[in-house]
Amino acid sequence: MKIKYFIIFLIISINIVAQEDNIIRVFGDSLVGKKINGESIREVHGNVIMTQGSVKITCLKAIHNITRNIAELFGNVIVTQDSITIYTDLGFYNGNSKIAYSKSGVTYFDGHIHLKAKNSFYYFDEKKAYFYENVRLNDSISVLTTDTLTYYDNEDKAIAVGNVVVKDTAAIIYADSLIHLRNEKITYAYKNIKIIDPSNNLLISGNKLEDYHNENYSRITGNPLLIKIDTTDANKLDTLIITAKMMEAYGDSTKRLIAKDSVKIVRGEFASINNYSIYYQKDQLLYSHKRDEDKIAPVLWNQNTQFIGDTIYISLKDNRIEKMNINSNASIISKNEKYDFRFDQISGNNINLIFSNNRLKRTEVNGNVLSIYYLYEDGQPNGLAKSSAEKSIILFDEENNVEKVMYYGNPNTEYYPEKLVEGKEKEFTLPTFIIINSRPQKEDLLNGKYFLINQLLDVVNGK
């Protein structure tokens, strides 16, 4: 019997607590009670304090509809619950649903972030806020603006939708929508993404971004495109364009960008296709290599010359090619633009190329060297030389023509006079000879996205 009484007492106590929690209590300097359309109204003026459970509201004036359990709040309205504080000039509070809302400009603070918007709803039971129109969120190091934003206080999670812009000291992110997990420091962004790094004149666009701040790692997919602008000696824009299926960025000490699958690169007279490239920003080093699953090795073009090799290292200086190293199955093919199918060719185990002012100056080929070079006298064709050796050094003149070829280690050269060559050029190819016709062009990579270059320039120039 004692147990039965105890249960009844417990149920009654819970109901009383629930009812107490649902009651809105109002205090102020003066109070007027009245009936309007059969509903009980109390109007409170001066130093108004309204409480309901853990919710506390202060303002200059409140009109409390007791019948409906709702209140209209006027002047210097401050709503608090635990660490959450909301400021506005005109607001409304529903004691049944425990929802406060305002359309008169709202400021929200939870101890970590500041949020401002023209309109806001706050759901006290869920500790969830919904903001729309002119939304601005200030975190410790970044500022986010958007059309709408939902903030979950317990999870420290923000979902922004519509014209999202995030600025911090390093970059600006634009996106259609974004999810940010503040505690985990993880950000996801979706659709029409643009990441602009003004200090490096860099823009990356795509349709999905994942950023893991604690791991210094970001990944962008959905037709990612990279644009990097530099200025040449003639004050002309020199633009690096990269496309791929996926781009990854590591912000650690190596500061590297990895482009994967269907990678296409264009910069001036330089172009490349491959499936795996790494760009080390700090060291200005570009590395491409053939993976086990790749059908063809990386291909590069510089002016009228094609380079192929299983691994290719390119060292840059002041954003210009300084050195190139091609390892394993390396070959170089240069086309003479004046004559059909007259390709200078050389292959070997390893090829090192030295550039000067973006011009090929010297080439060193090591191991199993094979070469075919067409000869000219006073600009007229004069047969070709077919050679083999263990090592070869080729020097180029100012016009990028072969100036001198030297062979070392069992050199062997055969000369073919012009009468044996003309019309039979296709018979003179090395075993590794292949012409790749899919050289990417800048216009194709940008594909109607030239406006991104102007947008990057505007940000870089502070417009």
Tell me the mean pLDDT in the region 364-377.
94
Whose tokens are 């305002």? That residue is 102
pLDDT computed for residue 15 by the predictor:
39
Lowest mean pLDDT among 13-17, 135-139, 232-236, 286-290: 13-17
The pLDDT tens digits of the residues spanning 70-123 come to 999 999 999 999 889 999 999 999 999 999 999 999 999 988 889 999 999 999
Residue 451 has pLDDT above 70, yes or no: yes
Buried b (16+ CB within 10 A) or exposed e, 230-255: eeeeeeeebbbbbbbebbbbbeeeee
pLDDT computed for residue 151 by the predictor:
94
pLDDT band at 356 (very low <50, low <70, confident <90, very high): confident
pLDDT computed for residue 21 by the predictor:
58
What whole-number distance in Å separates Cα of residue 119 and Cα of residue 130?
A: 8
The pLDDT tens digits of the residues spanning 412-424 come to 999 999 999 999 9
The pLDDT tens digits of the residues spanning 213-260 come to 899 999 999 999 999 988 766 667 788 899 999 999 998 777 899 999
- Sorted by sequence, the CB contacts under 8 Å of residue 242 that are 6+ apart come out as 225, 226, 259, 263, 264, 265, 277, 279, 445
What whole-number distance in Å separates Cα of residue 30 and Cα of residue 205?
A: 60
